[in-house]
Amino acid sequence: MGCLPEYAELHCLSNFSFLRGASHPEELVERAAALGYSALALTDECSLAGIVRAHVAAKEHKLKLIAGAELRLEDGTRLVLLATDRGSYGALCALITTGRRRGRKGTYVLARSDVEVCAGSGLLALLLEGDAHWLAGHFTGRAWIAAELHCGPNDRAWLESLRELSSASGLPLVAAGDVHMHLRSRRPLQDALTAIRLGAPVERCGRALFPNAERHLRARVRLAQLYPSELLAESAAIAGRCAFSLDELRYEYPEELVPPGETPAGRLAGLTAQGLAWRFPSGVPQRVRALIDYELRLIAELRYEAFFLTVHDVVRFARERGILCQGRGSAANSAVCYALGITEVDPGRLSTLFERFVSRERNEPPDIDVDFEHQRREEVIQYIYGKYGRERAALAATVICYRPRSAVRDLGKALGLAPEQVERAARSLAWWDGRRVLPERLADTGLDPASPALERLVTLTGELVGFPRHLSQHVGGFVISRGPLAELVPIENAAMPGRTVIQWDKDDLEALGLLKVDVLALGMLSAIRRALDFLGMKMHQVPAEDPAVYAMIQKADTVGVFQIESRAQMSMLPRLRPENFYDLVIEVAIVRPGPIQGGMVHPYLRRRRGLEPVAYPSVAVQGVLERTLGVPIFQEQVMQLAVVAAGFTPGEADQLRRSMAAWKRKGGLEPFERRLVQGMLERGYRREFAEGVYRQILGFGEYGFPESHSASFALLVYVSAWLKCHHPAAFCAALLNSQPMGFYAPSQLVQDARRHGVEVRPPDVSVSLWDCTLEDGALRLGLRMVGGLAAAAGARIATARTAGAFASVEDLARRAALNRRDLRCLAAGSALAALAGHRRQAHWAAAGMTQAAGVLREAFIDEPALALPPPGEGEDIVADYASLGLSLGKHPLALLRPRLSNLGLLPAVAVHAQVHGSQARTAGLVTCRQRPDTASGVIFVTLEDETGCVNVVVWRDLVERQRRELLGARLLAVEGRIERDGEVVHLIARRLIDRSSLLGQLLVPSRDFHWAV
Amino acid sequence: MDESWAVVENRSVLVCNGAAEALGVRPGSALTAAWALAPQLRILPRDAAAEAGALEAIATWACQFTAKVSLEPPQGVLLEVAGSLRLFGGIARLMARLRGGLADLGFEGQLAAGPTPRAALWLARGGGETLQALPIGAIGPEPEALALLRRIGVRTLGELMQLPRAGITARFGQGLLRDLDRALGQAPEPRVFFVPPERFKAQLELPAPVMEADRVLFAARRLLLQLEGFLAARQAGVRGFTLSLTHRHKRSTVIDVGSATPHRDTEHWQRLLREHLGAIVLKSPAEAIGLEAAGLAPLAGAAPGLFGDARSEAEAWERLTERLQARLGGAVVHGLATHAEHRPERAWRAAGGVAGTDEMPPGPRPLWLLEPPRRLGEGEFVLLAGPERIESGWWDGDDVARDYFIAARGASLAWIYRAREGWFLHGLFA
C-alpha cells in the first residue's frame, strides 16, 4: 500500500450540477475517503449548492474538502476555480452570484473579465479548455492545466499535446478526473441524465454521451497506471494550498437595530423591560422576572441579542400595520419573546417550564418561525427587503428533488418509451402509493414490468428519486447578514420576478449554524384577525380558560377551529377531553403521525382515563415524562430521555433529533439504537423499556412536534375555539373571507354555522359588500362568494351603491361598469334577485346586455320584462352549488331522502345512533377522501347529508377492489359495520355503491352536477 | 371481457366502448380520471381526418340514392330524397335500405326524415317525432348559447319558440332564429351538394392487427360496398382495383385485382379478392387496408424504357446506383454514412446515395469492420496504441465494455479489443 501515490480529486461534479452529476455529494465524499484520496474538491457548475452536504459528510469521514466551482465562460473557456481561504471563498461566491444573477433561473452568464476581477483573491484555477496564455497572465503561479485522461482514443498523444501547451504557456500540468459519479455503475444513470438534459431519448444522444464510465472516482492504483506520478503529486500539492473550511464561516448579525451608543444587550434588555410593563401592567410575577433574567443572561453569553432584535423588528412592523402574527419554534416560547410581543403564550399561563430554549452546550442558533396572516405576508417580505437591501437579505432555497412520478416521466422519455406509456407509468403511481415504483402497479396499467425497458425504468427511477432537480425558494426563510450576503453564499434568481434565493437550503444553514428568520403564512391568523376586527377586540383580550370553550371542544364541535378540526383530531377530542390549555398543547402534538406511529396515543389515553397506572422506572424519567403521564409526546422529551436515561450529552441528543428528522430519507439511526439501549441497560433500565423508547423514537421520525410549537399552535386553537363558541357568525364570516384555508369548504362552514343558529343570508347586489359581513347578528354572504366574479367588479358594486340603490339590472351594470360576464356571474350566484327576480329571469336580464353594432360599450336593448317559469328546488340548489359552492336552500340529500329511504339508506344522524358492531347502510356526498401517512393503505371518506356527516373507513383490500366507486362517486352509498368508541362513531365499509346518478335526477337529464369540493 | 377503449381529445374522453363504460369511464371524463378507473384503457387519439374521411365515404356511397347529397360535418349526411321516393318504394323502405347499407359499411347511424333539411338533421340528432318536443341540445347551438338556454330553463325547441323573437336575436345573435326558420320551412336553406371524387380511394384502420386472410376479406368487403355505391352513382364499373395492406415497420402488401370486363358488384369483386388473398401469405399483420380504383375509363399505358435514356451526365452516378440496385436488389447496394454512436458497429449506417457528411468518430476507425468480431487467441498481435475504452449501449440490451487497441500482425494493422470474454479482432485498417 505504501507505494500508492497521493491524489486529490480537484474536478468533481455532484448531482447539484443538475442533470450532469450522477452522484450525491455525500456519496462522492464517502467514496473518496474510502479510496484514500488526500482531498476532494466539489466543483459543481457555477454552484455551491451541494457544498454543505459534502462538508458535513467530509467531517464525518475525515476527508479534506475543497470548495470550488466549474465555470463555462461566454467565449467557451472552461475552468475550475478552487478556494484557498475565506477571502477567495468570498470572491468565488461573489463571482457565482454575478453569473447567476445575469442569467435566467437555472442559468448563468460569465465573461473572462468577471474571472479577471477575482484573480487577486487567492483563488486557484485549473484550465479545462481555452486560452492558457490568458489564464497564465492573470493567475500567475496559481493556475494549472488539468490533464484529464479517460481512456480516450489516444491518451498518450493527448497528454503530449498538453505538455507542449504547458511549456508554451508556463502553466504546470495536474491530474484531474472530471468526475461525474462516485462509482462506475452509475453510468446508465449518467447517460440517462444527459438524455434528459438534451431532451432526447438516450439512443439518439450519440456522442453527447460519454464514451465510457471513466468519469468516476478511480482507485489510486488505477490512476498510477494512467498518469505520470508527478501529475498526481501535483494534485496533492494543490490541495495542500487550499486551507479553507466552511467551518470558518461566521454569521454576522445586522447592526442597524442597535441605536448608536447602545449595546445589543442593553437594547434588548430595554425593549424587554418595556414589553414587560405592557404585558403585566399590574406588576411582573416573580417567576416571570426570574425567567427573564435567566434568558437574558443566556442570550448575552451566546451573543444572540441581534437575532432577537431582528425578529422583534419584523414583528413590530407587522403590529404597526395591523398584521396579526405569532412566533413559534424553540426560542419563541421564552419569556423574552412574550415580552417582545413575538408570541402570545403567557409563560405564566403554562405550568410547565420549557426546557428547550437555546442550549448553551449545543450552541445551535435559536429557532423562531413567525407566522403572519397569509394574505398579508408579502408586506412583511417587502419590508425586510426594503430595510436590509437585496444584497443583505435573501430567501433560503428549497431543493426540489425528483419524486417517483417526475423521475418516471423524465426517465421514460429518456428511455424512448412512447408518451402514452410514460404517462401511464407515471399515473400508475397513485397519490397513496408513496415513494416507490411498484412493478405490480405498472402491471395494473397494462405495462409489462418484466420487459427490459420497464426494468431499466424501475431501476433507474430508484436511483434518480431524491436527486436534486432545481432550486426553488423556501416558503419564507430569510437570511439577513451584516455585510454583503453574496460573500457568504452565492445568490441566484428565483422563478418569481424580483425574488432571489441563496444556494443553500434550511438544512445547510442549520448545519453551518447560520441563522434564518422564518416569515411564514398562516391562514388562521387572517381569520382570527378578521373575527376580532368584527368584535373590536385584540387577541390578548380573549379571556383565558373559558369552561364553555372546553365543553365545546370536548364534544368535538370544532368545524373551522385551528388544528383540531381535522377528522383525526375530532375523533380524538371526546376521548382526550381537554380541560385546560396544556391539554390543548398535548392534543395538538399527539394527533400527529409521529406519536401515532410510535404507539404513544393509546397508552396516553388509557392513563388519562385512569384505566392504566402511571409508573416511572426512575425519578429522572419521571421528571421528564410526568407532565405527559409517562408517555413521551414531544420531541424534547425524547431528547431529554436520551440524556437522563441513556447518558447522552446534550450535543448527542441534538444529533439524535436531527437524525430522527432524516432517518426516513437517509436511515442511519442504528448507531443510536445501540448507544441508547446499551446506555439505558447500563443505568439499570429494563431492556423492554429501552427498546420501547427506541421504537417511539423511530415512530417520531420527522413528524414529532416540539412542545414549543404545540404551545403556540394551542393558543390559536384556543382563540379560534373561543370565537366559534361565543361568536359563531363573526367566526364563520372571517373564515369565509380568509378562504382558501383550513380543512373545510365554505359549504361545510356555512352549514355548521347554521346548525349553531346563525342566520345566513345570500349574496345580494343591493346589500352585500365584497367580503362577508355581519348584519344585525346575521351573516350576510359577500360578493366574494359569487364564483368567477372579479374582486374589482365586486368593489365597484359596493362603491356605486353608496350613491343610491340600484333601480334595475341595467342601472347596476351602468353605474358599476359591469360587463356581460360579471352580470352572468351575479345571476348565477342569485345575487340579482332583488333586481330581476328568480335565477332564470336574472340570467335572461343579464344576457340582455349586448354589444351594440359600431359602439364599444355594451348596452341593453329596450324590451319588456319577461316572465319565465321559476326553477324547481333541485335546479336552484344545484345552481347554488355551481356558483357559490354552497346552498342556503335544502341539502340536496334532503330532496333525495324518500328515494334513499326506499333503498334502506340511513341518514347520518341515524347512523350515529347505532350500537357498536351493528350493520348499517348510509349514503352521502363525498366531501373528503384522505389517506393518512400512518394508516397503511386505509382511506378515510367523509360523507355528508342533510343531518350531518358519517366517517367511513375503507380498508386496503376494499380500496383495491372498489377503486372505481371510491374515486368516482360523488354520492356514495356504504354498507358496513358500526364501530363506536364513546361518542366517536366510524362506519367500517364492506361494500361501496356509486349512487351519483341519483344526483342527476334533481335536474334535467344530461346536465352534469359539479361539486365545488 | 372485451378490451376497453376510448377516443380521446384534449385529454378528455370523447367516446368510449361498452367495456370502458362498465368500468365507469364516461364521455367527458378527464383522461387521468379514466385511467384511474380503467388502468388498462386503450387510448385512441381523435383523428379528425379519419372522421371526415368516414363522412365522405358514406356520402360517396349514398350518391346511389340521390344526386342531392350534402355533408353536415362532423356527423351528418343529408339526402334530399323527395325525387327518389317512387324509385325506392317510399320513405319507410328507403330508410330501411339506408340503415342496412350503413350497417354493411360498418357504421351505426341515427336516421330521420323531415320536411326541411334542418328539421331532418335535428330530428336525427334529437330523436322523437315532432320539432316541438326536441331537446334543445339537438339543434346544435353554440356552447355558450346552449348554456344560457339551460340557465333560463329552456329545454325544448317548443319552449324556445315561445321566447320573444327580438329578445332571442339580442341574446343569441341572428343565427339561432335563422336556423329555426329554416327548420320550420319559413326560410330557404341553400345547400352545397357533395361532389363524389373522380377516382375511388378509401382507407380503413383495422381495430386490431389482422393476420388471417378471411378477416382481411371481411374488412375489405366494407370498402367494396363503398366502391359499389360510388360506381352505382356513376352508372359505371371498373376493370380492377388495388388493395393495399399496411403493416407496421414493413412495406405495404399490394394486391391488384383485375377482371376482363367492368364490374361493380361487391359479390363479384369479393370472390375474386378471396382467390388473390388465398394465394399470398402475410408476413406481418395488417393494421389498415386501402382500396383504390381508377379506370372508369380506359387508360393508355405507355411504359418508358427502363434503361438507355440517360439524359444528363450529372445524373450518371444516381443512374448507376439505380441500375445496380435494379439488377442486384435494392438492399445490397447502398452508401455509407457515419452515425453518432460510441459502439463502433453502430457508428455507421447504410445511406441511400453518397456517404453522409456527419461528424467523424473521435478516434481512429478502420473502414472495414468484421461482423461479428472474430475471437483471437493469445499473442497473435503486437499492441501499438490504446487502450481506447468504450462502454456504452445499456439501453438496448446490447451493452458493450471494451478496451480497443491498434495492433500489428506482420504488415497489416488491426483494430482489436479486449472484453470480458477475451480478445477480438474487430476491423482491419486498409
Does residue B131 share a domain with residue B103? yes
Chain B residues whose CB is inside 8 A of the A191 CB are 392, 394-395
Does residue B85 share a domain with residue B9? no
- B108, burial (CB in 10 Å: exposed 0-12, middle 13-18, buried 19+): exposed
CA B322 – CA A723 distance, rounded (Å):
91
Does residue B213 share a domain with residue B132? no
pLDDT at B190 over 90: no
- How distant, in Å, are the alpha carbons of A175, A374, A394 from that of A385? 45, 18, 8
Q: Is A85 part of a structural domain of the chain?
A: yes
For residue A468, what pLDDT is reported? Answer: 95
**Is residue A133 a contact partner of residue A169, using CB atoms and an 8 Å limit?**
yes
Which residue's entry shows cell 419590508? A383
Q: Does A862 contact B at CB distance below 8 Å?
A: no
The pLDDT mean for chain A works out to 86
Q: Is B312 part of a structural domain of the chain?
A: no
Does residue A284 share a domain with residue A243? no
pLDDT at A74 over 80: yes
Nearest chain B Cα distance for residue A925, angstroms: 18
Rounded mean pLDDT, B370-376 = 87
Q: Is A448 part of a structural domain of the chain?
A: no
For residue A1002, what pLDDT is reported? Answer: 63
Binary contact (A863, B166; C-beta < 8 A)? yes
**Is residue A37 a contact partner of residue A221, using CB atoms and an 8 Å limit?**
no
Q: Long-range contact list for B156-160, CB < 8 A, 24+ apart?
A: B156/B132, B157/B122, B157/B131, B157/B132, B157/B133, B158/B131, B158/B132, B158/B133, B158/B134, B160/B136
For residue B157 the three cell numbers come to 325547441
Chain A residues whose CB is inside 8 A of the B387 CB are 151
Which residue's entry shows cell 339551460? B150
Domain CATH code at residue A512: 3.30.1900.20
Does residue B271 share a domain with residue B206? yes
**Which structural domain, as residue segments, surrounds residue A487?**
264-398+473-522
Does residue B41 share a domain with residue B86? no
Binary contact (A444, B36; C-beta < 8 A)? no
What is the signed CA dihedral for B57, B62, B66, B68, rounded to 10 degrees?
A: -40
**Residue B244 phi, psi dihedral angles, 5° rounding:** -120, 135
Does residue A351 share a domain with residue A225? no
**Is residue A407 a contact partner of residue A461, using CB atoms and an 8 Å limit?**
yes
Chain B residues whose CB is inside 8 A of the A420 CB are 43
- How distant, in Å, are the alpha carbons of A435, A938, A939, A955, B175 from that of A931? 14, 6, 5, 11, 52
> Which of A150, A209, A1004 comes nearest B155 by C-beta?
A1004
**Is residue A519 a contact partner of residue A422, using CB atoms and an 8 Å limit?**
no
Q: Is A136 part of a structural domain of the chain?
A: yes
Domain CATH code at residue B273: 3.30.1490.100
Does residue B178 share a domain with residue B206? no
Q: Is B326 part of a structural domain of the chain?
A: no
Q: What is the pLDDT of residues A615-627, one digit of tens each?
A: 888 888 888 888 8
**Is residue A400 a contact partner of residue A469, using CB atoms and an 8 Å limit?**
yes
**Residue A634 phi, psi dihedral angles, 5° rounding:** -105, 155
Does residue A875 share a domain with residue A754? yes
For residue B176 the three cell numbers come to 339561432
Does residue B368 share a domain with residue B271? no
Binary contact (B170, A850; C-beta < 8 A)? yes
For residue A502, what pLDDT is reported? Answer: 93
Domain CATH code at residue A863: 1.10.150
SS3 for B242?
A: strand
Domain CATH code at residue B39: 3.40.1170.60
Does residue A925 share a domain with residue A800? no
Q: What is the pLDDT of residues A348-365, one digit of tens each?
A: 655 444 444 555 555 566
Binary contact (B396, A203; C-beta < 8 A)? yes
Of A522, A540, A555, the last residue of a domain is A522
- Name the region of A290 (left: φ>0; alpha: ψ -120 to 50; beta: rest): alpha
Q: Is A223 part of a structural domain of the chain?
A: yes
List the alpha helices (DSSP H) in A738-872.
746-755, 791-801, 809-815, 820-828, 833-836, 839-847
CA A750 – CA A737 distance, rounded (Å):
12
Q: What percent of chain A has pLDDT over 70?
A: 91
Nearest to B429 by CA among B411, A429, B34, A877: B411
Nearest chain A Cα distance for residue B377, angstroms: 24
Q: If you measure CA to CA, which chain A residue comes closest to B163?
A: A866
Q: What is the pLDDT of residues A695-740, one digit of tens each?
A: 777 776 656 677 778 888 898 999 999 999 999 999 999 999 998 8
Beta bridge partners of residue A500, listed in sequence order: A493
Which residue's entry shows cell 394465394? B279
CA B283 – CA A905 distance, rounded (Å):
60
Q: What percent of chain A has pLDDT over 90?
A: 47
For residue B27, what pLDDT is reported? Answer: 83
> Which of A214, A967, A1008 comes nearest B37 by C-beta?
A967
Of A823, A852, A884, the last residue of a domain is A884
Does residue A139 share a domain with residue A42? yes
Per-residue confidence at B83, pLDDT binned at 50, 70, 90? confident
Does residue A756 share a domain with residue A783? yes
Q: If you measure CA to CA, which chain B residue comes closest to A154?
A: B386
pLDDT at B204 over 80: yes
Does residue A948 share a domain with residue A823? no
Nearest chain B Cα distance for residue A427, angstroms: 8
Beta bridge partners of residue A993, listed in sequence order: A973
pLDDT at B39 over 80: no
Domain CATH code at residue A119: 3.20.20.140
Q: What percent of chain B has pLDDT over 90?
A: 11
**Is residue A975 a contact partner of residue A991, using CB atoms and an 8 Å limit?**
yes
Does residue B133 share a domain with residue B236? no
Q: Is B271 part of a structural domain of the chain?
A: yes
Cβ contacts of A728 within 8 Å, gap of 6 or more: A753, A756, A757, A758
Q: Is B325 part of a structural domain of the chain?
A: no
Choose between A537 and A510: higher pLDDT.
A537
For residues A66-97, one letter each, b for 16 or more C-beta atoms within 10 angstroms of the residue's C-beta and e for the rest, the string is bbbbbbbbeeebebbbbbbbbbbbbbbbbbbb
Tell me which DSSP letter residue A927 carries.
E
Choose between A453 and A577: higher pLDDT.
A577
Does residue A125 share a domain with residue A18? yes
Q: Does A456 contact B at CB distance below 8 Å?
A: yes
Of A413-427, A430-444, B45-59, B308-322, least confident by mean pLDDT is B308-322
Q: Is A667 part of a structural domain of the chain?
A: no
Binary contact (B152, A848; C-beta < 8 A)? no
CA A104 – CA A926 distance, rounded (Å):
44
Does residue B273 share a domain with residue B217? yes
pLDDT at A664 over 80: no
Q: Is B262 part of a structural domain of the chain?
A: yes
Does residue A496 share a domain with residue A352? yes
pLDDT at B315 over 60: no
For residue B351, what pLDDT is reported? Answer: 65
Sequential DSSP letters for A257-294: TS-TT--HHHHHHHHHHHHHHHH-TT---HHHHHHHHH
> Which of A156, A416, A861 comes nearest B170 by C-beta?
A861
Per-residue confidence at A1012, pLDDT binned at 50, 70, 90? very low
Q: Is A616 part of a structural domain of the chain?
A: no
Q: Is B121 part of a structural domain of the chain?
A: yes
Of B183, B209, B228, the last residue of a domain is B183
**Which structural domain, as residue segments, surrounds residue B15?**
5-46
> Which of B151, B166, B340 comes nearest A206 by C-beta?
B340
Count of domains forming chain A = 4
Which residue's entry shows cell 359552492? A885
pLDDT at A936 over 50: yes
Q: Is A668 part of a structural domain of the chain?
A: no
Of A863, A884, A905, the last residue of a domain is A884
Residues 96-125 of A with CB under 8 A from B: none
Does residue A953 share a domain with residue A813? no
Does residue B148 share a domain with residue B231? no
Q: Residue A887: CA atoms inside 13 Å, Cβ hemisphere, count?
A: 21
Does residue A41 share a domain with residue A109? yes
List the alpha helices (DSSP H) in B288-364.
316-328
CA A792 – CA A795 distance, rounded (Å):
5
**Residue length of chain A:** 1013
Q: Is B304 part of a structural domain of the chain?
A: no
- How distant, in Å, are the alpha carbons of A349, A352, A353, A468 from that of A280? 13, 20, 19, 50
Is ipTM > 0.95 here? no
Does residue B175 share a domain with residue B95? yes
Q: Is A618 part of a structural domain of the chain?
A: no
Does residue A106 share a domain with residue A47? yes
Q: Is B93 part of a structural domain of the chain?
A: yes
pLDDT at A993 over 70: yes
CA A958 – CA A947 distance, rounded (Å):
27
Count of domains forming chain B = 4
Domain CATH code at residue A910: 2.40.50.140
CA A335 – CA A276 distance, rounded (Å):
9
